Structures are given as structure tokens and as C-alpha cells.
Structure 1
Amino acid sequence: MEKDLFKSRVRLRHLDCFVCVAETGHLGKAAARLRLTQPAVSKTLNELEEIVGQQLLARGRAGSSLTPEGKRFLAHASAVMAALHAAQASVAAAPDAPPAVLRVGALPTVAPAMLPAALQVFRERYPRTRVEVRTGTNGALIAMLRAGEIDLAVARMAEPESMLGLSFELLHVEPVVLAVRPGHPLAGRPISLDEAAAYPIVISASGTVPRHHTESMFRSRGLALPEGRVETLSVSLSRQLARHGDSIWFTPAGTVHDDVRDGVLALLVLPTTGMEEPVGLLRQAESTPGIAAAALINALRDEAGRRR
């Protein structure tokens, strides 16, 4: 559809309805939040899909899920709604209001990969906003989010029962990799997991998704985790162990992206197909991000797109 024709036909109610259904995953829940009837919500979505010329949502008895086109459209629709709320907040706030505080949660393996570039972009727009970053396991971040201790989290999808009342927006998918120092005895050629297991290994702590994938990798090859391993949530400790010895660090690819690019670490040649981890934004489903949160969310989306 031509751009001008799209602008003349689409309305904010279309975007608001679509974002609400995408966040709740259910027409009935979205209708309750929007204070509309379910047929009215369905009609609005049909109008939007007719305007866009694509199916954005797949409807079913269990709920609604985004199509690939819907996922792409959601990023822009959410940004429009966030900008609208930000515009309202900008004129409603008192001129002498204190600087805002944005509370962000992040997995230890995700924080160094996603946050630095996104925060740099955010800081250019909102230099007076204080950002508090808290790291923890996925379960801990979900608990903080439910308790209102953080505004958003960069984390992973959890079990369905843990996700009730929360929304998850996929940012990117990253595999588990084996990182070592340049010049490691196993670097530069295809290897087997048996060969890697002969060296000291560094893995994530028990109960984390990277740890689960690492265990699955060993189990699928009929191997047990080596006894003399180091288990830690500390990215800085893991990096130092890999850089200054022969330890092999099993970690999500994004954690060592910059280290590999800068030649500080290298990746072993070992297929890890099936060990991919979805990383995304977690928020309370019923909440609308404020002006600062919306800006950081958009910066994180841009950074995820760049990394993809």
C-alpha cells in the first residue's frame, strides 16, 4: 500500500488495539483492558490487517500469536504508542520535576552484550535520567519485575506459568559458543566435545538457561560434565579464566561478540545447533512504558537489529 494511503486510513485505535492483543496474546483479555467487546476488538484488527494488506495475528482458541509480519509491525506500532504516551508525559510533568530514574534488569551474560551501546544512545537523548541496572538469574529478574522493583528486563522466555501477567518481545536468538584465548591448543580447527572436555571448562551456574543448554550438549553426546569445572554467573571472572589460561568458556554468543571481534577471544569450531537461546524484553503486560523506558526499549531494539 502506498505510504500516503496508509497514513490516511490507519488510526491510533488500530495500533492501540493491535499492541494490546500482541501483549496479552488473547482477544478477550485485550478487550477487557481496552474496555471494548471482543467482537469490536476483532473488527478493529480485521480493519488494520485490511489496511496493511497482511495477516498480523494468527487467531486460535488458545489465544493469538504474531505472524512474522506481525512481529515486524509490532516494533513500530509499539514505538508509536510509546511516543504518544511520552508526548503526554512531557507536557504533564512539572517543570521543576526531579530527574527520572529508570530501573533495568538484565541477565549477567546479556548485560555486557546488549546494554552498553543501547545506553549510550539513550544517554544522548536523556542525559539527566539515572539508570539503575540490576543483574540476576532469569527467575530473579521475573520476581523483581512482578514486585515492581524494575521497570523492564532484558532476559529470556520462562515457563508459561512464570510468564502470567508479563509480556515478552523477542529481540534476537543467540547460540551457545565455546570461547578461548587466541592460540588455544584447540583453536583454528574442527574439534569434538570430547577434546574440549579434556580442558578446564567454565559454565554458567545451575538453574540458568545457558547451563541447561551446556548440560544438554554434553548429554546428547553421551558425556557428563567434567568434574573439575568452574560454575559462575560472573562474566568478568569467566572472561579472565578464558583469556589467561586454557579454560574453555561455554557462553551465549552475544556475551563474547565484542571480545571475538577485537581479537581478545576466539571461538572453537564445534557445532552447537539446537542450543539457541531467545533473548528479549520482559515487561508487566498491563503497564505502559514511560518516556524513558520507551526510549531505552527502542535503543535495545535497534541494537538487537544491528547484531542480527
Structure 2
Amino acid sequence: MEKDLFRSRIRLRHLHCFLAAAQERNLRKAADKLHLTQPAISKTLSELEEIVGVKLLERNRLGARLTRDGEAFLPHAVSVLEALDAVTNAVGQEQKPAHESIYIGALPTVAPDLIPAVLPLFRQRHPQAKVLIQTAANAPLLQMLTAGEVDFVLGRMADPQMMAGLSFELLYVEPLVFAVRNGHPLAARPSVSLSDIVAHSFVISPKGTIPRHNAESYLQSRGLAIPANSTETLSVSVARQITRHSDAVWFTPAGAAREDLADRTLVQLAVPTEGTEEPVGLLLRSEGTLTTLAREFVRMLRETAATRRSARSG
């Protein structure tokens, strides 16, 4: 890729279209997001690929997926657009009105499931609102909530001493699942046993977390243990990438892998995991009121969770 030629031909519309396609993994959805037609966004992406000289997206009837070059290009495209936003924000601050903010605490395994589904709806009504999302393990999140550092938490019920001054509202219950990359040796087998699974390294939540406790209890009740060569991480994005690019088995709450399982980037192994179900809900301060923005976001979370519960039971 010739640097001068690239600089002379690249346009912001190329980056906006690429980022929307990378985020939505579907050209129709990306076009809707940018208020363009699908042929227009497809043409713009083809122009971008011609400029950079490599294929950035694999397109098919199921959607669009980043190639290895696309994954390498993505953080640079994001950096360019963020830099432009920073310039915009730095200019004329004295004339800009202050915008309301909402502070959300969420478990890493819950945040990528519910929040992306709710945020576009929230943005339609409050396009200027600032949304700050803190992810952490359950205990630190409850400490943030108690200290007033976040408006509410998407998390799990904790020990009574940690729940003092807090309330818990159940949104849904989800099990742990075994997820592997599409093409994993276990994915092709007509039947898989737990012994087959524990022969592979795991990607799993760290000790002290509720998913880890439930995973250990599940395996111990069957005379098995978490493999010694497992990788522990709170980061869903790190866990996802490790699973996608190795033969590791991701033992995770179902919501964390929901999108990957839906688009078949990852495959759920058909092994029952009864007894690993975890309640996920809203944690609020018992004393104190939510801001108007926070109340509206909470309402949308409740509605989204109710819709998913109905879909599962239907």
C-alpha cells in the first residue's frame, strides 16, 4: 500500500462504513445505522479495499466478518475517528452546554449481552447523553454502587454483608455453556463427553467469581476438575479471541457468548450444564433516587430482559 496514494484517496466515509460493518457484522444493519442503502455501503467498502489493497471483510448471505487484515485495520480506523472526535470536543468548549451523564457498572460477562441491545434505543431518545460503563468483578462493582460512583449495577446477588443498603431485582437466569471455535475438533463429533472436554485447556473466569465457583462445583460433582493449563480472565473480548484462535474451550455464562454463538463464530457443545444457572439482575441503592436518564436506561433493560425471557419460554 503506497502511503501517499492511500492518504490522497482515503475518505472519512470509508472509515465510517468500515467501522459500522465491523460493529454490526451485517451490511444491511450497517447501512441502516448510517442511513445509507446497502449497495452504497457495499460500494464504499469495495473502494476502501481497493485503496488498502487487501480484503478487509468476508461478505456472505449470513453477514460480514472481518478478515485478519480487517482485524488489524480496525483499531487504526477507530483511532482516527476518535482523534477527530477529540478535536471536535476540544474546540469551542465554552459555548457548549453541559450534557447529562449516566454511570453504569456491569459484570464483564453481562455488559456485552444486554447493554449493546439497549444503548441504540437509549441513544434515539438521548443522543447527547454521556454514557460511562465500568466493568469489574461483582464485589468491586457493589463497592462502587455503595460509594455512589455508579448509578446502578448489572450484576449478581452477593453475600448479605455486601448487600447492606442495596437491593437486587432479577432480570434473567442463564447457565454456563461450553463454547469452542467453529472447526474445533470437538465441534465435529456427534457426541461429546465431559472427559473429552477437560482434555482441552479452558478459558474461564478467575477464582473468586461466581461463574468460576459454579464451574468448579459442576465439574467436581462429576468427579472432574478444571484443567491445570487453563487461562483465567475477566475480559470477555480476550476470552473470545483466545477461543476463536485456539482449541481452548470457553466455559462461560451463556450471555457472554450469545452473539458469537448466534453467528456461528463459536459453537456450543451439546453437553447439559444443569446446576450452573446464575441469576443476573439490577442492583440499586435502597436509599436514593435514580436520575431521569438512569431510570429510563433501567426501564429499557427491564423490557429487553423481559423480551428475552419470553423468547426462551416460547
- TM-score category (smaller protein): 0.5 to 0.7
* Distance across 1 between alignment mates of 2:296 and 2:187: 41
Q: 1:240, 1:109 → 2: CA distance?
A: 14
State the partner residue of 1:303. Answer: 304
Deviation sequence 1:190-210 (CA, Å, 0-9, x none): 322111010111100111111
Q: Give, in whole Å, the separation in 1 of the partners of 2:108 and 2:210.
A: 12
Deviation of 1:245 (Å): 1.6
Aligned partner of 1:241 in structure 2 is: 242
In 2: Cα distance, 1:161 partner to 1:264 partner: 41
Matched, 1:172 2:140: no
* SS of corresponding position for 1:303: helix
SS in 2 for 1:187: helix
Match of 2:137 in 1: 137
Q: Counterpart amino acid of 1:142?
A: L
Hey, what's the Cα distance between the residues in 2 that align with 1:148 and 1:209?
23
Equivalent residues in 2 for 1:79-90 (5 A)?
A: none
Q: Is 1:128 equivalent to 2:131 in the alignment?
A: no
CA distance in 1, matches of 2:162, 2:266: 35
Counterpart CA distance in 2 for 1:184 and 1:218 is 21
CA distance in 1, matches of 2:238, 2:107: 15
Q: Deviations over 1:112-134 (max 9, x none)?
A: 01101111111111112101100
How far is the alpha carbon of 1:97 from its aligned partner?
A: 6.8
Shift of 1:259: 0.9
Q: How far off its partner does 1:307 sit?
A: 2.2
Task: Indicate whether 1:117 and 2:117 are aligned.
Answer: yes
Runs of 4+ that moved beyond 3 A: none
Q: Is the contact between residue 206 and residue 234 of structure 2 (CA under 8 Å) also seen in structure 1?
A: yes
Partners of 2:171 and 2:281 within 8 A in 1 = yes
Deviation, structure 1 residue 276: 0.3
Please tell me the residue identity of whatever aligns with 1:270.
Answer: V
Q: Which moved more, 1:184-193 or 1:169-178?
A: 184-193
5+ unaligned residues in a row in structure 2: which ranges?
A: 1-95, 310-314
1:254, CA displacement in angstroms?
0.7
| Aligned counterpart, 1:163 | 163
For 1:10, the equivalent position in structure 2 comes to none
User: Where in structure 2 are the equivalents of 1:67-216 lying within 5 Å?
Assistant: 98-187=98-187, 189-216=190-217
Q: TM-score, normalised by structure 2?
A: 0.66
TM-score, normalised via structure 1 length: 0.67
- Specify the SS of the correspondent of 1:199: coil
Q: Does the Cα contact within 8 Å between 2:202 and 2:226 map onto a contact in 1? A: no
Answer 1 or 2: higher relative contact order, Cα 8 Å, separation at least 6: 1
Please give the alpha-carbon distance, in whole angstroms, between the structure 2 residues aligned to 1:195 and 1:100: 52
Task: Please give the alpha-carbon distance, in whole angstroms, between the structure 2 residues aligned to 1:135 and 1:115.
Answer: 12
Aligned to 2:256: 255
> Unaligned regions of 5+ residues in structure 1, if any?
1-95
Please state how far the C-alpha of 1:303 moved relative to its aligned partner.
1.6
Q: For residues 190 and 159 of structure 1, what CA distance do their matches in structure 2 show?
A: 38
- Residues 138, 156 of structure 2: 8 Å contact kept: yes
Q: Aligned partners of 1:186 and 1:153: how far apart in 2?
A: 36
